């Protein structure tokens, strides 16, 4: 069965993209823990990050690093957290989360709904500072 992330990447479901190429997609999560929370997702549908092709895995972390640097500039946060849990969607994804305290990295604090226009503004702020 195709994952929800594959459907977003293919354009079958809406997504607010920060970056896309042949290997990876970066888009905003619809349930952010903090403003600017983005996901870095391999295009290839692989469930666990430990099974991702080594070349793609390297790119995954390089792009997550660049996204985190852009988030620090865009959202003036103290840190950027990375989380790889993989229980919600069976498609490898790295959460890149602007954070000022531990509450900013707790899934218990994830928003149930965010205005799509707010997601677009956050994506634009990241893109404006993204150096890939």
- Number of residues in the chain: 132
Instruction: Tell me the average pLDDT of the chain.
Output: 96
Average pLDDT over residues 18-39: 97
Q: What's this model's pTM, rounded to 2 decimal places? A: 0.96
Q: Which pLDDT score, from 0 to 100, does residue 1 have? A: 79
Residues in Cβ contact with 35 at an 8 Å cutoff, skipping those fewer than 6 apart: 75, 98, 118, 122
Which CATH topology does 4-129 take? HIT family, subunit A (3.30.428)
Q: Is the pLDDT of residue 75 over 90?
A: yes
Domain locations along the chain: 4-129
Please compute the mean of the pLDDT values over residues 55-78 and round it to a whole number.
97
**Banded pLDDT at 104 (limits 50, 70, 90):** confident
Closest CA to 19 of 76, 74, 60: 60
Residue 60 has pLDDT above 90, yes or no: yes
pLDDT of residue 20: 96
Residues ≥6 apart with Cβ < 8 Å to 72: 80, 98
Residue 68: CB partners within 8 Å, gap ≥ 6? 80, 82, 96
Res. 86 pLDDT band, cuts 50 70 90: confident
Separation between Cα atoms, residue 39 and residue 115, nearest integer Å:
17
């Amino acid at each position: 069965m195709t994952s929800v992330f594959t459907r977003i990447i293919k354009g079958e479901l809406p997504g607010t993209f920060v970056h896309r190429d042949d290997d990876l997609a970066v888009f905003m999560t619809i349930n952010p823990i903090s403003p600017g929370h983005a996901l870095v997702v391999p295009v290839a549908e692989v469930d666990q990050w430990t099974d991702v092709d080594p070349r793609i895995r390297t790119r995954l972390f390089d792009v997550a690093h660049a996204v985190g640097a852009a988030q620090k500039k865009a959202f003036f946060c103290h840190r950027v957290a990375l989380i790889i849990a993989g229980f919600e969607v069976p498609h490898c994804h790295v959460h890149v989360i602007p954070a000022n305290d531990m509450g900013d990295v707790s899934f218990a604090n994830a928003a149930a709904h965010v205005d799509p226009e707010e997601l677009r503004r956050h994506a634009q702020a990241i893109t404006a500072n993204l150096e890939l």
